[in-house]
Structure 1
Amino acid sequence: MSLYGTMRTGVSGMNAQANRLSTVADNIANANTTGYKKASTQFSSLILPTTGGAYNSGGVNTDVRYSISSQGTFTYTTSATDLAINGKGFFIVQGSDGVEYMTRAGAFTPMSDGSLQNSSGFKLMGYPYSSTEDPTIVINGFAGLEEINLAAGELNVKASESGYLHVNLPSNAEDPFSKTTSLVAYDSLGNTRKLDFKYSTTGTPNEWSLEVNYTDPVSGTVTPLLAATTLTFDTDGKLVSPTDITLAGPTTIGGGVLNPLEISIGGTSGGSTQLAADFAAKGDIDGIGPSGVAGYEISDDGIVYLKYENGDLAPKYRIAMANVQSPDNLKPLPGNVYAQSSDSGVVVMGYAGNGGYGTIISGALEDSNVDIAEELTSMIESQRNYTANSKVFQTGSELMEVLVNLKR
């Protein structure tokens, strides 16, 4: 065995333990970093072939691996924009360089420009929300994403489109009898429009008439929205027809357009009735009047809602998620973000709660998956092993000195 080889093997062992200590130092330093995934050093032997009966000492190689797929525990907060993923997947964020990355660090804060940025300055990305269909996504790339911006809805108006009104009409009322109730709708400018629903007996059993009008509060002008319509009930007091009505429009009132309204008045459950009880009514019409943003809500499937001062919730964005075939082989980058590598597989896009992706927890952060006790144990082991390898080097050096001194 070569004494030089012995010394080189000792140096190889010291370098390997130094690498292990470096990962331990990183892990301990980031033990409280949101979404941090620990690094570990794996050792593999380097064997040299034996020649002429002489043993050739080899060494040790190291490979750094990351436990990116290992989920950490959760810490709950009071901020609705603090987000954690329970399950597989990554948030998509954009750096100042305009490039998209993946991360599990969800400590997002609303900025003055309306963007949601985490503690490393990366902006959360997603798709505009649509109530009729899911956004079209590029499965294997980040095309089509846009910055989630909460300032876009600072003052919101949504014209009314539909609603319901379920009433009980007293079956024992003496003809003629009429009763009026009202619902408020919003026009295209956010003006409130009080709609009067007038129910009247027709003199025919199990029949009532319904008409809907709008009365201008200033001029007193009455605008018919629904001419007298016959409501027919069966002998059990349930509304047979019609079950839905359409209020005529668009009608321009004071500069705002009141769109056609689809109003549900009956159905298989909870519809209008004709029973021997007092007149009663319950109903609502959608729409939002001019209102500022008072807060935010994010559902477990990643829909971002703006909460307005009047209590209404308006969905604005759908948070995008991504994953790869081998998350542990992603390339870690500064800022606790990851990029696709040749070993990780291609990026696959999706949404929270479906397609194998985890759900989003609002008001929570994923903790680092570092175990301090385990890291301190590794530190002690590395320290002892480094010392032992240094003794090998020192012994080889002493033997070399003995060999040189033979000349004397």
Structure 2
Amino acid sequence: MSLFSTLRTGVSGMNAQSNRISTVAENIQNASTTGYKRTSAEFSSLLLDAGNVGNYNSGAVETTLRRSVSEGGPIASTNSDKDLAIQGNGFFVVSDAGGAPFMTRAGNFVVDGKTGNLVNAGGFALMGYSLANGAPNPVLNGVADLKPVNVSVMGQEARPSTSATIAGNLPAILGETDRADPPVLESSLIAYDQVGQPTKVGIRISALGRSVGLSGTAINLNISGPGWFQIKNDAGEINYTRDGSFMIGNDGTIITRSGYSLDPAVIVPNGTNRLIVENKGAILGEMEGQVAPQAFGQVVLANFDDQSTLRQLEDGTYSATPASGPPISGIPGDVGYGSVSLVNDFKPPAKWLVEITDPASIPASSLILSYDQDGTLSSNKNNISVSVNNSEPMIIDFSKVTQLAGPYSLTGTADGSSPTAVSGTAFGEDGTVYAVYSDGTRKAAFKVPLADVTSPNNLTPRAGNVFTTSAESGDIQIGFTGQGGRGTLKAGALEQSNVDVSTELTTMIESQTVYTANSKVFMTGNELLETLMNLKR
């Protein structure tokens, strides 16, 4: 080993530590840089062939700089909804002003005032796939079809109403009602047509039937003297009977057990509190809220010249024959009434009629809501389809309307909106970028992919805290969050630098000490050379 080799060895050591201190300085100055990845100086020995035995050639120190790109930094929450952090593997794809693609972990994006693009602190625009034509089909090993994320191009947009919901309660107890004038509940909601014009949709809900039911109540009539009850079936056949066992049918008509009705028909409406049959056959009834009885009909008696020639039928009634002669209606006779106590059956109305009344341009639409005794909806169809100003159909859902003892209380909501401008941007964990409108609604506009490479630590750094691929890193691979080991996105957060300042300061002290030691080697070699030179003197 020559003395000159000693000098070169000392210089090599000082250069190596100088490089190391330079990386420490860079790391410390970027300790607060978003997404920055620390650099470390790695050393390896460089040995020369000793040649002849007994000779020694001093080597040198080779320095290699490496970045800890794969080492994630801590995630910190921020106050900006446009800040993005990657939790796990992957990089944002960004581009410079010339459109050249890069990769970065720095997600501190803001809206550029000139272009409307989302750009980070380095001026690089965030890239994503447009969702204007549906879900994207990414190119796995390239950045084709990626565009700068810019929601300002969405402009104003009107959304027609396509669904609405009516919820609340219909009263189970209506009080005194009139069959001819059932209770009506009026409501309305605001919907939007295809151009965003707000339109009031009127809704009328009417109770069907009454709160009093008499169906199945027995009525026993008897004839004092001659005469027959004249009855008629659904086919219009007229028969006769003296059996006075009648009942009130579903429609209030007085009928026999076999289904014949008095002829002419006598109808007892729901709401009757007491039934009165006069001895001349007049049937009256006392109604709730009325002073005088109301006439319901007249029982008609018939007789024949020869009653013995009447033909008895299987159902116990009789039909006239030529021998019995034509019936003589309206003959004198008394009709007696076996007293029956009719009790008001106050049950909730089982059905409600829903009608769409406004605007006039909406075709007539209606719906029957049916309820069980416990007030739950039992009808199979619980919605109405309407078209507001000839726009696409809007489905109004009534499935959340109950019928309980509480008062009338309905609420209504409908989607859709008037034309509104984009007021902000929102991000989903899957990388979807939403345009947020001034009315609070939002629409998916872009989807941000994540790039990855086989060896992230071998990426080539570029100015602006971005990276490009190298032969050692492998080619770029594109995918979405959660795919192929990629991480997820967190909005309102940033990835901090992965620099540990205390570690860097320790490294700096260590490098300073080693640098000083190498300088001593150089100084010692220099002193030996001076001693050698002095021998000549």
Aligned to 2:19: 19
Preserved contact between residue 363 and residue 386 of structure 2 (Cα < 8 Å): yes
Aligned to 2:340: none
How high is the TM-score relative to the length of structure 1?
Answer: 0.87
Matched, 1:124 2:126: yes
The answer for unaligned runs of 5 or more in structure 2 is: 211-348
Preserved contact between residue 118 and residue 126 of structure 2 (Cα < 8 Å): yes
Aligned to 2:109: 108
3-state SS in 2 of match to 1:106: coil
Task: Give, in angstroms, the shift of residue 162 of structure 1.
Answer: 2.2
Identity %: 45
What amino acid sits opposite 1:328 in the alignment?
N
Distance (whole Å) between structure 2 residues aligned to residue 13 and residue 213 of structure 1: 92
What amino acid sits opposite 1:390 in the alignment?
S
Preserved contact between residue 129 and residue 303 of structure 1 (Cα < 8 Å): no
Distance (whole Å) between structure 2 residues aligned to residue 234 and residue 133 of structure 1: 45
The one of 497, 500, 512 aligned to 1:368: 497
Distance (whole Å) between structure 2 residues aligned to residue 114 and residue 200 of structure 1: 54
The one of 239, 242, 264 aligned to 2:397: 264
Preserved contact between residue 94 and residue 124 of structure 2 (Cα < 8 Å): yes
Aligned to 2:355: 211
Distance (whole Å) between structure 2 residues aligned to residue 226 and residue 332 of structure 1: 69
Residue correspondence of structure 1 range 119-268 to structure 2 within 5 A: 119-129=121-131, 134-173=135-174, 174=177, 176-203=182-209, 206-215=350-359, 222-225=360-363, 227-243=365-381, 245-249=383-387, 253=389, 257-266=390-399
Task: Give, in angstroms, the shift of residue 235 of structure 1.
Answer: 4.0
Matched, 1:304 2:310: no
What amino acid sits opposite 1:37 in the alignment?
K
Task: Give, in angstroms, the shift of residue 133 of structure 1.
Answer: 6.6
3-state SS in 1 of match to 2:522: helix
Matched, 1:341 2:479: no
Preserved contact between residue 300 and residue 353 of structure 1 (Cα < 8 Å): no
Q: 1:166 to 1:79 in 2, by over 3 A?
A: same
Q: 1:320 to 1:375 in 2, by over 3 A?
A: same
Q: 1:137 to 1:212 in 2, by over 3 A?
A: farther
Matched, 1:84 2:85: yes
- Report Cα offsets for 1:101-124 as digits up to 9, x if no partner: 111111211122321111111111
Distance (whole Å) between structure 2 residues aligned to residue 211 and residue 341 of structure 1: 70
Aligned to 1:218: none
Distance (whole Å) between structure 1 residues aligned to residue 350 and residue 478 of structure 2: 57
How high is the TM-score relative to the length of structure 2?
Answer: 0.67
Q: 1:32 to 1:140 in 2, by over 3 A?
A: same
Distance (whole Å) between structure 2 residues aligned to residue 170 and residue 129 of structure 1: 48
- Report Cα offsets for 1:228-275 as digits up to 9, x if no partner: 2223334443323345535244x5x4xxx5221133332xxxx33233
Distance (whole Å) between structure 2 residues aligned to residue 325 and residue 262 of structure 1: 51
What amino acid sits opposite 1:338 in the alignment?
F
Distance (whole Å) between structure 2 residues aligned to residue 229 and residue 376 of structure 1: 78
Distance (whole Å) between structure 2 residues aligned to residue 348 and residue 23 of structure 1: 29
Aligned length, in residue pairs: 392
What amino acid sits opposite 1:118 in the alignment?
N
3-state SS in 2 of match to 1:265: strand
What amino acid sits opposite 2:449 in the alignment?
A
Distance (whole Å) between structure 2 residues aligned to residue 129 and residue 280 of structure 1: 42
Q: How large is the Cα RMSD of the aligned pairs?
A: 2.6
